[in-house]
Structure 1
Amino acid sequence: MKLALLGTLFLSDKRKDLLLLLIERPMNIDEIKSTLNVTSSAMMTQIKILIDQGIILYENDQYRLSSFGEVIVKKMVPLLNTLMVFEDNKQYWENHKVKGIPAHLLESIEELGSCELVEPELNRMYELPKKFTDNLVQSKYIMEISSSFSPTYPYKYIELARKGVRISLIITESVFERFETEYSEQLKDYLGMENTELFVCKEDIDFASSVVTDRFLSLTLFYKNGMFHNHAMMSFEMDALKWGEDMYQFFRQAAQEVTGL
């Protein structure tokens, strides 16, 4: 019975589309046909299967979800959204480490929504992707978690901070040590501004970086072999920004603020 029900829900795109449609409101067959662009014969076969399973009901010339069906479809939506996140960039997720993402955020990764993998041009492989930097310079605030070091960051963030952008960084101890050793003057400039914050996290950060602004979320993961490539998975959806802010707050709790050298 369990396997039969799973097959009912997931083996047919028409059934899935119908269920997602009826979660909005009851509809008659003409509305269903028009919205889903299907024929009566094709859809009635799927409707009969769902009625037999008790997932939808036929009342007053309309089809609607049963109470049981409503529960199922509400549970389906996060799963389908999660599958969409992974399927849109399947090769990326398969080849990169996701375990560095906190478990509770990995479980809600469907909130990333539509993602786009952005990479530098071939002749600028050691620079940040253009789409990332174009949106970064238009942001009003920036919150980043980073376990990787980029020589461009001290200069880029000081430049943006001087323009009034609010910037808060969480970095690992090893990244901080390199900043302090090789870029001490830039670090002093950064710490001396009123609109900047710097935190050092003593916990492991097992991904390259997470950047969230008022415009976008950017997530850069390590390859499964530990290698780093200068790319970013970007999302511009509001739920993704909230997800990125939750990620920042999670690591902020394990970090200590640096107020001066």
Structure 2
Amino acid sequence: MKLPLLGTLFLSDKRKDLLLLLIEKPLSIDEIKDILDVTSSSMMTQIKILIDQGIIFYENDLYELSSFGEVIVKKMIPLLNTLRVFADNKEYWENHKINAIPSHLLERIEELGECELVEPDLNRMYELPKKFTDKLNESKFIMEVSSSFSPEYPYKYVDLARKGVRISLIITEPVFERFKTEYFEQLQVYLGIKNTELFVCNETIGLASSVVTDKFFSFALFYKTGMFHNHVMMSFEEKSLIWGEDLFQHFREQSHEVTYM
């Protein structure tokens, strides 16, 4: 069997699309043509290459993955999903501190799926983005990790907690000290509501913030220069919510709870 395969697999979108189709079920050439909207001649060239490589085979008028092909495609899918996460917001990832994300979660970055960069309007640059706050208001629970401070948060979270939203916050020691100094009354009110939790992280939190709710997951990273601007990356995919909860638990294990002031 010839194996100069992986160097050529990603050069052809047609080959990649065909393999992703065949991981679902065997298909005839007519089905492949209809789904991929291609001609027989252009597709047969790609099919021949994959047959020569031992990735697919032809039997009973159907093309299907070989056992070897199934292994390759199952390994290929996470890689393609990872590339898609970075490609969709290439400039963002290039300019921000990706290494702030814990390594075991960075290895699962493909679980974020489709992400959208959300920023506030130009005339409200120091406020939280409206799409973010709108979704926050629709949530039944909120779990946040933050090393940055927004003056809106003390009032926003007290208001939501009073409406019955379950809220768990993990913040850094400097953020906690600012809360105590500048928003002591709001902090006392927050801690007095039964459906709230507050944790102070004993270790460094390298990212600006992450928020996971029953509706969405969002995160914000610092620029490589250390600067930060009001923005969030948002994902609404189910796997991203699990990823966000795992990120919260990572920092929860490094934190101590504050129950009263």
Instruction: Name the TM-score, length of structure 2 as normaliser.
Output: 0.98
Q: Mark the CA change 1:2 to 1:217 in structure 2 (over 3 Å): closer, same or farther.
A: farther
Quote the Cα distance in structure 1 between the aligned partners of 2:175 and 2:210: 15
Quote the Cα distance in structure 2 between the aligned partners of 1:7 and 1:259: 56
1:19 matched to which residue of 2? 19
Shift of 1:8: 2.8
Q: Mark the CA change 1:206 to 1:2 in structure 2 (over 3 Å): closer, same or farther.
A: farther
Aligned length: 261
Shift of 1:203: 0.7
**1:55/1:69 contact within 8 Å kept:** yes
Quote the Cα distance in structure 2 between the aligned partners of 1:13 and 1:79: 14
2:92 matched to which residue of 1? 92
Q: Deviations over 1:90-142 (max 9, x none)?
A: 10011000111110110101011011000000000000000000000110000
Residue 165, structure 1, aligned to residue 173, structure 2: no
Q: Give me the CA root mean square deviation.
A: 1.1
**1:8/1:49 contact within 8 Å kept:** no
SS in 1 for 2:99: coil
1:185 matched to which residue of 2? 185
Quote the Cα distance in structure 1 between the aligned partners of 2:125 and 2:202: 30
Quote the Cα distance in structure 1 between the aligned partners of 2:25 and 2:9: 19
Q: Give percent identity, aligned residues only.
A: 77
2:203 matched to which residue of 1? 203
2:8 matched to which residue of 1? 8
SS in 2 for 1:148: coil
Q: Which runs of 4+ in 1 moved over 6 A?
A: none
Q: Give the unaligned 5+ runs of structure 2.
A: none
**2:85/2:113 contact within 8 Å kept:** yes
Shift of 1:3: 8.2
**1:8/1:50 contact within 8 Å kept:** no
Shift of 1:50: 0.3
SS in 1 for 2:228: coil
Quote the Cα distance in structure 2 between the aligned partners of 1:212 and 1:260: 24
Residues 89-238 of structure 1 mapped to structure 2, 5 A cutoff: 89-238=89-238
